[in-house]
Every structure is written in structure tokens, then in C-alpha cells.
A and B are shown apart, each in its own frame.
Chain A
Amino acid sequence: MNGSPLLAAFRRDVLQAWRRRADWLTTFFFFVIVVSLFPLGVGPEPEMLKTMAPGILWVAALLAAMLSLPRVYGTDYADGTLEQLVLAPQPLAMLVLAKTVAHWLLSGLPLALMAPVLGLQFGLEGEPLTVLFWSLLLGTPCLSFIGGVGAALTLGVRGGGVLVALLVLPLYIPVLIFGAGAVQAVATGTGAGGHLSLLGACLCIAAALSPWATSAALRVSLE
């Protein structure tokens, strides 16, 4: 098997997203706006904002990731492309992997890149800011992998958008704990190494297992 079918699946998702930029920009601006609302709501005390920043940024990232999930397989399901993916001679899990990487590139990576800028708003600086970026860079692909399973399970279900949140948000808890924890750990001076390693471990497990779970869920959804 050569890599070209995977590349084709990846390229098509990116090309399609490029043609429908508005869809993906809404996710991004949702993240920016939710994060920016907090200082307005809780007041401008620098110390409090600094403490809350990692949690706020991470929760907003989870919600933004959530928002983009129904699109990953939803359109393919509705227009019949999913049938063709399932019937393709390539292993479905590999195509799922390609689509997940495309999803992360479009929805997760922009959040990780934007987070340090938003962190500045909360008075984060120096090492916590760097760690925030790394934690999101490691964490957002986990969100795409885990979320993919939920998105595949809720295909064709009425009100799938809410259901996917109920299914997937609890599974995001470890990512949230290690991700926000990493930034807090640096701020309190204990070092972020442990948290980031655990986040990396989450990513390895999610990347290894979720494509299989997702492809099984997709087959079930199509029956």
C-alpha cells in the first residue's frame, strides 16, 4: 500500500476547508471570544486572572474543539462519501487517521498558535506562556482523536451535536487536567515536565487506539 490514498483524503479535507473558510474561522473566533469574555466577567484583578488563565484557555479550547467535531464526518455521511471511504480497499483506520490529522491542522493548531497571545491578556509571561503553547500543541491532537470517536458514534443521530458533547467532554478530562496543570505547575515553580510527559502519553494512546475505534463506529453508523 502506498501513501497516496491517505494523502488524497488529507488533501481533500484541507482543500474543502479552504473553500469553506467561514466554517473553520467560526471555531477559531469562538475560542478567542470565549477567552476574552472572562476578564470582563470576573473583573480585572491581575493576580486572579493569572491563576485562572490556564483553566480558562483550556476549557475554551475543549469547547471550540467540540464545536468543530460534527463537521468531520457529518458532511461525508450526508453526501455518501463515507460509504465510499468504508468500501475503499485501504484500511479505514488509515483514512480516519488522515482525516483526523487534517481536522487537527484546521481546528487544533490555530488554537495552540493563538493561545500565547491570549495568555498575554491574562498577564501570563515568560515560561508559563511557553508551556501553555506546548501543552496545547500536545493536547489539541488528543482532542481531535478522542472527539473523532464521539463524532463517528453520533452520526445520523438527531441532536447529535449535543450528544457528542455529552459523550466526549468527560473523556477530555485527563487532557484538561494535564494541560492546565502543566501551566499551573510552572507558575508555582514545580516544573511542567511531568504534566507534559503525561499529555504526550495521552496523545500516543489516543493516536494508536482512536482510529480503530472511530472506524468501527463509522461502520456501525452506516449499517
Chain B
Amino acid sequence: MLQVRDLACMRGDALLFRKLEFDVEAGEVLWIEGSNGSGKTSLLRILSGLSPPEQGEVRWRGTALASARDALQADLLYLGHLNALKDDLSVAENLQFHSAIAGYDADAADIDNAIAAVGLTSRRDLPVRVLSQGQRRRAALARLWLASSRTLWILDEPFAALDVDSVDRLAALLADHVSAGRMAILTTHQEVALPAGRTRRLRLDAA
């Protein structure tokens, strides 16, 4: 469904990668590995359509991204390394906002379920400002429980700063997601039990 052909990325004057080619099919997890600065985040931003590639093209459902942007955005959930949470709003208010902006059609009960799934029920109405780093990450990840219908998840370091339980819950959610025929592209430095047989690894190394 997602095809990458002859992709190159420059950051400043540095060439991060070139001639990158891969496909991601329905029901697969693509695990992008690489050392710091090898271009993982840049690759995810290109795949999500935030930045243009230096060279090459990305195709979504057979159409080049330049003309398939609307189609991709309707199928996409992008979780960057920034949490996209407002410090002064509560966890629930932040999720309501994201759900409305992204068109997840989540009602109040869905949002409560998502908050419960990341174990923040007792923090539901607290401003994000007072949460710890790991709790903020979990609040941001709660969007995944709302966005289960999105075909493509692009997740930048989703496991960073999470405790062991949260890592397990997220891995289980990912397994459900791909076994329902959807796909995920993620980066992580941790050894996580990703769905066996459905996970492919892609190694990015400095060109």
C-alpha cells in the first residue's frame, strides 16, 4: 500500500540516506532502526507528507504523495516525538481537541476509554502541565486508542519514557492493529515484542 522508491534525504548539507526503497503492505509493522542522526525522524516526516524528499517518491495506494495528500491524511495517524499536548488544558480536553481536529468521531465515552487504556483515569481532569514526562507521553499515545480505524500509523519513538506495563499495552495494541489488516511504521531503540512474523526491520545507517 505504501511504496517508497529511490528516496534521498538531506539535512542541511549532510546526506542522511539515498536510494532507499521499501514497501509496506497491509498487516505489517515496519520497524526503522538506526543510530541517532541516521534520519529516522526525517524519514517518518517524509512518509507522512510533512517534508518533501530531496529525491525519489512515496506512493500511497498507488498514487504519488504529491497528489495523494488528502487520501493519505484521511488514513494517517502521525505521532511525532513532540506530544502535541497543551500544558494548560486537561488530558480529556486535549484528547477532545485532537479527536475533533482529526475527525475520529470519538464521543465522551471513547475518550474516557482511551484515557483508561493508558492508565490516566485519575489524571483525566488535571492540566497536562502537572503530569510527569512518561504520563504526558501516555496522554499523547491515548490518541492511538481513538484512531484505531486509521489505516497507517506513523509513530516516532512511541515507547520512549514509558513504564513496562505501558510498553506491553502499546505492543498489544499494535498487534491488534496489524492483525486487523492495518499497518504501522515506527522507530524505537528499545527491544520490544512487536507482532512476530508481521514485523520487518529496516536499518538506516549514515550514508
Contact = CB atoms under 8 A, between A and B. Distances in A.
Interface of A: 4-5, 7-9, 12, 15-16, 19-20, 75, 78-81, 83-90, 95, 222-223
Contact of B48 (A5, A87, A89): A87
Contact of A223 (B50, B76, B101): B50
Nearest to B82: A80
Interface in B52-107: 52, 70, 73-74, 76, 78, 80-89, 93, 96-98, 100-103
Given A84-B84, A222-B51, A89 B74 contact: yes
B73 A87 contact: yes
Contacts of A9: 97, 100-101
A19 B88 contact: yes
B9 to A, nearest CB: 12
Contacts of B76: 87
Contacts of A7: 100
Given A16-B89, A81-B86, A89 B51 contact: no
B89 A84 contact: no
Most A C-beta atoms less than 10 A away, residue of B50, B73, B88, B101: B101
B50 A86 contact: yes
A216 B104 CA distance: 25
A89 B84 contact: no
B49 interface: yes
18 contacts: A5-B100, A8-B97, A9-B101, A12-B86, A12-B89, A16-B89, A19-B127, A75-B86, A79-B82, A80-B80, A84-B101, A84-B102, A87-B78, A88-B101, A88-B103, A89-B70, A90-B103, A222-B51
A83 B88 contact: no
Contacts of A78: 82
Nearest to A9: B101
B55 to A, nearest CB: 15
B86 A79 contact: yes
A4 B84 CA distance: 20
Given A83-B80, A87-B73, A89-B70, A8 B86 contact: no
A24 B178 CA distance: 46
B88 A89 contact: no
A16 B73 contact: no
A80 B96 CA distance: 16
B158 to A, nearest CB: 14
A84 B101 CA distance: 8
Given A8-B96, A87-B48, A87-B78, A81 B103 contact: no
Contacts of B48: 87
B37 to A, nearest CB: 18
A100 to B, nearest CB: 16
A29 to B, nearest CB: 21
Nearest to A95: B101
Contacts of B102: 84, 87-89
Nearest to B102: A88
B93 A79 contact: no
Contacts of B82: 78-80, 83
A5 B96 CA distance: 10
A162 B125 CA distance: 38
